[in-house]
Structure 1
Amino acid sequence: MADFTILGLRVVREAARRGSFSTAAERLGYTQSAVSRQISLMEQAAGRALFERHARGVQPTEAGRIILRHAEAVLGELDAARQDLQDLDARPPGRLSVGAFSTALAALVPRALAALAEQEPHTQIPLREGMSPRLLTAVARGRLDLAVVTQPQQAPDGVEVIRLLDDPLLIAAPPDHALAGRASVTTAMLRNERWITASTEPGATLLGAWSEATWRPDIAFVARDWVAKLGLVAAGLGITVVPGLAVPAIPSAIAVIRIDHPAAVRTTAVAQRAGTPGEHLRRTFTEALRDAAAELSAQLRHRLR
């Protein structure tokens, strides 16, 4: 039994429109015998006649009108697909300039970028790493379309800040450390520890999360790079504070422990200028960030069990 074909459906549609096999052949650039052959194959597939033949032309039978209706739908979808492909080639690529602080680039932003690339594969995404205050300024001045930042107390004029998640601050410790088996620690339990920080000023680092503490940390090493910090921790030379967002990049051999303190949290947000071009890309990327944040939060809860 013959099958319906795209060519056959196209011939049936043209013959019905013209009321003549010969005129359909002329419009399609086929011979009349080729058109008659395609009509015959479609009638074999349908199991009944699709046209009534008359001296002055042809007209669809009831079965022919059914096939014609479906042919219009099928061929219309194919024409739309062809047009979409042509538009894809003609459309200039979108562009979204993104900024983020370093630990957001460990997993949160890369996962969101991967999701955006699947939905908008031709989008160009210049990426900039920096500290949150500078990223906010870059967004305010139009140098960045969007930035992932730690939520500021006050955003620059014209910048909209959208909260993503409250990121817990954690202790990273060597696997054989006395605190390594604990689910959480209080700040008092950290009093006599040796610290690895990015600065000698506690208020300028994540140690500022408990700035009201009555003791000052013993800073053994200063290292700005996260790979260096974790290397020093793994060697047993001290402990450090890490955001939850960085945990996917931390080797499983290093223990991570929750800090039992209300200030041991850092809110992560998206900063953007509302009303500027590229709203669709910004919205799509923000949703991807939300999804990635939820996924990372679930993974963190699993690791801290």
Structure 2
Amino acid sequence: MRTFVDVAGHGSFTVAARELGWTQSAVSRQISALEAALGGARLFDRLPRGVRPTAEGRALLPYAEEVLARLRGAARELAALRDATGGPLRLGAFATADAGLVPRALARFRARHPGVTVTREEGRTPALLSRLAEGELDLAVVSTTGGALPGGAYDLHHLLDETLYVALPAGHALAAEPELRLPRLAAEDWISGSPHVEGTLLHRALHHGFRPRVAHVVAEWTAKQGYVAAGLGITLIPQLAAEAVRPDISLVPLRDDSAPARAVYAATARGRSVPRAVTPFLAALRSARPRT
């Protein structure tokens, strides 16, 4: 196609050969091969001085020019992917990571890599890992509250271990405590995202011999804060969500030596090539971690 476009542009096999750095016979063979591939089309009339596109040649020319333009565009996009100056990056994150960590990382990343198009979706850790395994995400920010994440299929890049806070109404008797342990909260009403504490931040209460009384099931962190502020119960809030806490509730650090902190990771699919932009985005996530 490149040879055909050059010959058509110069009207000469000789000039096209000089531009391409080939012999005239090599250019002639290229055109003959193209004509054969097109079912025996005749692309040029041979004139005493040079050549001229036939009707078939004139019909092919705009398509050939478009093919070459698209190939040049593909080469530019591939180069941008290689050096992380362009292309897409598909990101997933759990809800509380979107409260501060991910937006800060995105802002840092965009300042250094403005040509990369980042698409983002929110979800729970199991769903994000499934999307990652299916090749629908390049990177996912996920968490675990004591249980191990599925192994083998993912590379996990540790970002932080979150402090947990007890969120109390501002006038609560325990609001001024420097820290709290779960057994002191056994008689409280709780606001939770599930009626079952297993698999939630409240599961660690079971290790202390009590099952928290879930008074209201509320999914969103902002809504949970509203219930707490109204005096309808208390809740646990992880460090990432605590960045966006409302002023009419109090946060007291939870001390629980019997259970590990909630760990936050960036996950990538193992054994699959990822865009080069993943590496600088990981660096942006690490630099965006909240200071303790």
Cα displacement string for residues 52-77 of structure 1 (whole angstroms, at most 9, x for unaligned residues)? xxxxxxxxxxxxxxxxxxxxxxxxxx
- Could you say what secondary structure the match of 2:291 adopts? helix
- How far apart are the structure 1 equivalents of 2:121 and 2:269? 17
Cα displacement string for residues 118-165 of structure 1 (whole angstroms, at most 9, x for unaligned residues)? 111121111111110111121122110000001462435332011111
- Could you say what secondary structure the match of 2:232 adopts? coil
In 2, are the aligned partners of 1:210 and 1:264 still within 8 Å (CA)?
A: no
- Could you say what secondary structure the match of 2:117 adopts? coil
- How far apart are the structure 2 equivalents of 1:287 and 1:276? 20
In 1, are the aligned partners of 2:205 and 2:211 still within 8 Å (CA)?
A: no
- Could you say what secondary structure the match of 2:161 adopts? strand
- How far apart are the structure 2 equivalents of 1:208 and 1:134? 20
Task: Measure how far apart 1:91 and its partner are.
Answer: 5.3
Task: Measure how far apart 1:166 and its partner are.
Answer: 0.6
Cα displacement string for residues 225-279 of structure 1 (whole angstroms, at most 9, x for unaligned residues)? 1121110111111110111011111123321111110226200001002564444
- Could you say what secondary structure the match of 1:219 adopts? strand
In the alignment, residue 97 of structure 2 is paired with which amino acid? A
- The answer on 1:106 being equivalent to 2:102 is no
- Runs of 4+ off more than 2 Å: 90-93, 154-158, 273-280
- Could you say what secondary structure the match of 1:290 adopts? helix
**How large is the Cα RMSD of the aligned pairs?**
2.0
Distance 1:274 1:132, change over 3 A: same
Cα displacement string for residues 178-202 of structure 1 (whole angstroms, at most 9, x for unaligned residues)? 1111121111110111110111101
Distance 1:124 1:279, change over 3 A: closer
In 2, are the aligned partners of 1:140 and 1:156 still within 8 Å (CA)?
A: no
- How far apart are the structure 1 equivalents of 2:159 and 2:238? 14
> Which residue, 116, 127, 130 being the options, matches 2:120?
127
- How far apart are the structure 2 equivalents of 1:156 and 1:279? 22
> Which residue, 192, 198, 206 being the options, matches 2:193?
198
In 2, are the aligned partners of 1:104 and 1:245 still within 8 Å (CA)?
A: yes
In 2, are the aligned partners of 1:155 and 1:161 still within 8 Å (CA)?
A: no
- The answer on 1:167 being equivalent to 2:169 is no
TM-score (norm 1): 0.64
- Could you say what secondary structure the match of 1:260 adopts? coil
- Could you say what secondary structure the match of 1:155 adopts? coil
Query: Greater relative contact order (Cα 8 A, min sep 6): structure 1 or 2?
Result: 2
- How far apart are the structure 2 equivalents of 1:226 and 1:289? 22
In the alignment, residue 133 of structure 1 is paired with which amino acid? P
Instruction: List gaps (5 residues or longer) in structure 2.
Output: 1-75
In 1, are the aligned partners of 2:88 and 2:116 still within 8 Å (CA)?
A: yes
Over the matched positions of the two proteins, sequence identity in percent amounts to 37
Q: Report the number of matched residues.
A: 209
Q: Which has the higher helix share?
A: 1
In 2, are the aligned partners of 1:174 and 1:255 still within 8 Å (CA)?
A: yes
- How far apart are the structure 2 equivalents of 1:131 and 1:177? 31
Cα displacement string for residues 20-57 of structure 1 (whole angstroms, at most 9, x for unaligned residues)? xxxxxxxxxxxxxxxxxxxxxxxxxxxxxxxxxxxxxx
TM-score (norm 2): 0.67
In 1, are the aligned partners of 2:205 and 2:212 still within 8 Å (CA)?
A: no
In the alignment, residue 120 of structure 1 is paired with which amino acid? H
- How far apart are the structure 2 equivalents of 1:147 and 1:163? 12
